[in-house]
């Protein structure tokens, strides 16, 4: 074989675990296979669920027949959409001081939540040059990749207490208190922490905000599940709104995704919001200008169709009410399946404790299963979840939950 002549210096990188797992599931012919890997909502029949309100909006958009629907938008994105996304995130509803508060927020449209995280990391790397970004241990695997590519050194703060399968608040606070330095970025999951499903309570969020303010850290919120986690957009945005409203002298930012709460996984709808402190509102337009510079050099502007759907829904009182109902349907089914899995494991008297499954929140459960047990579930029972033990609860159904629980029980007992 002749030698390859190339100037490239490349070596293989590990495949993305989630997409590789989903690919393996897709080609598995086993009739009882179960996908608990990829984070997408599924009905009790295991099928995708285009939100009814999204289908209504799509029909209305067809009737509207907007001649400009395929035209370019502005570099910052669809401007009316940006105002709607901002108000949904920060909760502006004609409150006193609203205009002054809005003047602190610079918003741009992104390629979903991943793009918002990436753009924010790139912007901060260029213009703030943080010494370190602190990620929770564990966190969404893509956070590591995004900040690595942005060239920012990464450290982790404790988040998950394996022995109790609970949120390690004390470990998190102690680590940031003793090691984080002024100017460091702290990445926080606004709700439904991925992968653990464990969130700080409101008292703990207040303490985290106080620590960030006192140590002059920069909070970077990733909000991927607003309304999807609890069924309430207000409840799921509580932490973001608390930081913004109660710490007005602290800068922060938010990466906002509409993939989960509108079921628009393939439409890539997102926004990035940079919040100046109240003394620096004149910087907002300069921030947006620099964000646009990065956007122009990378993807020119955000996708139009998906944001048009969101805009259509959230500018109609009737459709907004329908959307809130759809959120309740999704969040309620997730909670029901958590309870069903817990009940089955208790009924089987499966070794271990399983209360954490119903105490966790949102799409994912950190089950506590070991990599060896996860591999056994896949190889013997054709049940697919991440090697960390993270399971996407939406993959459970009334038809398969008993099978999954029995399989978990079997692999644990056989191992013991």
Could you give the residue numbers annotated as active site?
140, 222, 260
Tell me the torsion sign for CA atoms 244, 247, 251, 255.
negative
Is the omega angle on the peptide bond into residue 5 within 30 degrees of 0, that is, cis? no
Q: How far apart are CA 208 and CA 157, in angstroms?
A: 12
Closest among 315, 300, 310 to 73, alpha carbons compared: 300
Task: Tell me which residue of 141, 173, 150, 127 sits closest to 18, measured CA to CA.
Answer: 141
* Rounded-to-integer distance, Cα 36 and Cα 215, Å: 39
| Alpha carbons 22 and 231: distance in angstroms, whole number | 27
Mapped onto helix, strand or coil, the DSSP state of residue 266 is coil
Residue 26 half-sphere exposure toward CB, CA atoms < 13 A:
7
* Backbone phi and psi for residue 270, each to the nearest 5 degrees, phi listed first: -160, 170
Buried b (16+ CB within 10 A) or exposed e, 150-175: bebebebbbbbeeeebebbbeebbeb
Report helix, strand and coil shares of the chain as percent, to nearest 5.
50, 15, 40
Backbone angles phi, psi at 345, to 5 degrees: -65, -35
- Burial (CB count <10 Å: 0-12, 13-18, 19+), residue 384: buried
**Alpha-carbon Rg for the chain in angstroms:** 22
Q: And the tokens for 300?
A: 């020119």
């Amino acid at each position: 074989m002749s030698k390859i002549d190339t100037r490239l210096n490349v070596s293989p990188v590990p495949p993305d675990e989630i997409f590789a797992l989903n690919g393996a599931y897709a080609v598995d012919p086993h009739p009882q296979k179960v996908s608990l890997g990829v984070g997408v909502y599924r009905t009790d029949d295991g099928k995708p669920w285009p939100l009814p309100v999204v289908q209504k909006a799509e029909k209305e958009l067809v009737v509207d027949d907007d001649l400009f629907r395929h035209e370019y938008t502005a570099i910052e994105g669809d401007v009316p959409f940006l105002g709607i996304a901002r108000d949904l995130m920060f909760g502006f509803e004609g409150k006193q001081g609203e205009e002054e508060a809005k003047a602190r927020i610079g918003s741009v449209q992104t390629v979903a939540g991943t793009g918002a995280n990436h753009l924010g990391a790139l912007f901060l790397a260029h213009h703030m040059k943080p010494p370190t970004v602190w990620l929770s241990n564990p966190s969404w695997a893509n956070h590591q990749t995004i900040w690595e590519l942005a060239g920012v050194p990464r450290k982790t703060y404790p988040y998950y207490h394996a022995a109790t399968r609970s949120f390690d608040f004390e470990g998190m606070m102690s680590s940031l208190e003793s090691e984080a330095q002024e100017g460091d970025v702290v990445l926080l999951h606004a709700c439904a922490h991925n992968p653990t499903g464990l969130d700080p309570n409101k008292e703990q969020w207040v303490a985290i905000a106080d620590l960030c303010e006192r140590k002059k850290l920069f909070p970077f919120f990733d909000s991927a599940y607003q309304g999807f986690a609890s069924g309430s957009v207000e409840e799921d945005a509580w932490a973001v709104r608390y930081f913004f409203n109660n710490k007005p002298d602290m800068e922060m930012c938010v990466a906002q995704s509409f993939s989960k709460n509108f079921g628009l996984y393939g439409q890539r709808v997102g926004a990035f919001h940079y919040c100046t402190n109240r003394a620096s509102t004149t910087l907002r337009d300069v921030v947006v200008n620099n964000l646009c510079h990065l956007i122009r050099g990378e993807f020119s502007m955000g996708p139009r169709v998906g944001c048009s759907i969101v805009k259509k829904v959230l500018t109609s009182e009737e459709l907004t009410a329908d959307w809130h109902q759809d959120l309740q349907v999704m969040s309620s089914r997730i909670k029901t399946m958590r309870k069903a899995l817990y009940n089955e494991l208790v009924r089987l008297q499966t070794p271990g404790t399983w209360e954490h499954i119903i105490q966790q929140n949102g799409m994912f459960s950190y089950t506590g299963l070991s990599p060896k047990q996860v591999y056994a579930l896949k190889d013997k029972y054709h049940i697919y979840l991440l090697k960390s033990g993270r399971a996407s609860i939406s993959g459970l159904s009334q038809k398969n939950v008993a099978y999954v629980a029995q399989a978990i029980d079997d692999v644990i007992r056989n191992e013991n």
